[in-house]
Structure 1
Amino acid sequence: MKDKQARAATGEAPVRNTRNTGPGRLLIAVYGVFAISATARAGYQILTKFSEAPLAYLLSAFAALVYVVATVSLAKAGTTWFKVSVAAVLVELLGVLVVGTLSILDSVQFPHETVWSLFGRGYGFIPLLLPILGLVWLYRRRPSAARATAAKAAQ
């Protein structure tokens, strides 16, 4: 809402959301699949066997939350949603790197795997690749680049 008001006040034309077109749709779909699967997995694990590996299951729940936020923010238009997307994808990358490293160095704390354990090995390393692809996509579709492209097209 603030983005629309700011553009109206300055006379700028609205910028179309280019993050959810083309390959961006596939990226959002993959994030959506991970959001659903990580949420279901974490929910089941927490409800049925939390005492076996509480840290791993809480990290799975956190990963699920990150995937949900990333999915929604990537699909939405506006500068604020862009910033939320960048933050979510950076948190995801940091989580994969930290949890992946800890799951190798301190396997006692991770008797059961999380989405991010061993850098996402249980998921074909997609959890490691996804935030990298997401950051590249976000960089290429950043709001200033979209405005520059729109300005060139208008000339």
Structure 2
Amino acid sequence: MSSPTSRPRRMTGIGRVLVIVYAIMALGATGRSFVQIVEKFDQAPVAYTLSAMSAVVYILATLGLVFAGRRGWYIVAWVAIVFELVGVLVIGTLSLVLPELFQHPTVWSVYGFGYLFIPLVLPFFGLWWLITHPPVDEKQGADASPAAVTR
């Protein structure tokens, strides 16, 4: 039970679901890239390196969301999720416009088609969550709001 002066829990409801989906994507991308790099890296080094890079991004986003109550991790989450969004849009577009570059799929190819387009939708939910749940300023206390901080 929390008292009026304690910090509210951030990882409840949709926030918890978001973290779980990011963690699943991190595991999936890590496993996929590991197998691709170990078994056939010489066939498509760029595609498989991009898959490994997406795995790192998903890991950082997951950690950033879990610890987003701390300003440093909040920034990590923002950077990782914006990078993810740009990555999925750029790689997704390039994989359609110049398919010869991506004869071997990456996590973000065709906007995450191999992952049911979750890589395309997920960053929008992540950014929404970060916008609506900014970190609490330790000096202001648990009840500080962005409006209270600017007064």
The reply to whether residue 133 of structure 1 matches residue 125 of structure 2 is yes
Q: Cα deviations across residues 96-147 of structure 1 (Å, max 9, x unaligned)?
A: 00100111111111111111000011111110000001000110001269x7
Instruction: Give identity over the alignment, percent.
Output: 45
1:17 and 1:78 in contact (8 A); partners too:
no
Please tell me whether the aligned partners of residues 51 and 107 of structure 2 are also in contact (alpha carbons under 8 angstroms): yes
Number of equivalent positions: 138
**8 Å Cα contact 1:53/1:109 also seen in 2:** no
Distance 2:66 2:103 in 1: 35
In the alignment, what sits opposite 1:75?
A: 66
Question: Does residue 35 of structure 2 align to residue 29 of structure 1?
Answer: no
After TM superposition, list the pairs within 5 Å mapping 1:80-91 onto structure 2. 80-91=72-83
The question of 1:109 aligning with 2:101 is answered yes
* TM-score normalised by the chain length of structure 1: 0.82
CA distance in 1, matches of 2:60, 2:119: 15
How far off its partner does 1:52 sit?
1.3
Find the counterpart in structure 1 of residue 148 from structure 2. none
Q: Can you give the 5+ residue segments of structure 2 that lack an aligned partner in the other structure? A: 146-151
Q: What is the one-letter code of the residue matched to 1:108?
A: E
Which of residues 134, 146, 150 in structure 1 aligns to 2:143? 150
Q: Which runs of 4+ in 1 moved over 6 A?
A: none
Measured against aligned partners, the alpha-carbon deviations of 1:13-45 in whole angstroms (never above 9, x if no partner) come to 775452x22210100000000101100100100
Counterpart residue identity of residue 79, structure 1: R
Q: Give 2:34's aligned residue.
A: 43
Structure 2 equivalent of residue 56 of structure 1: 47
Structure (1 or 2) with the greater helix fraction: 1
* 1:24–1:137 contact (8 Å) kept in structure 2: yes
Aligned CA-pair RMSD? 2.1
* Structure 1, unaligned runs of 5 or more: 1-12
Q: Which amino acid aligns with 1:72?
A: L
Number of the residue aligned with 1:4: none
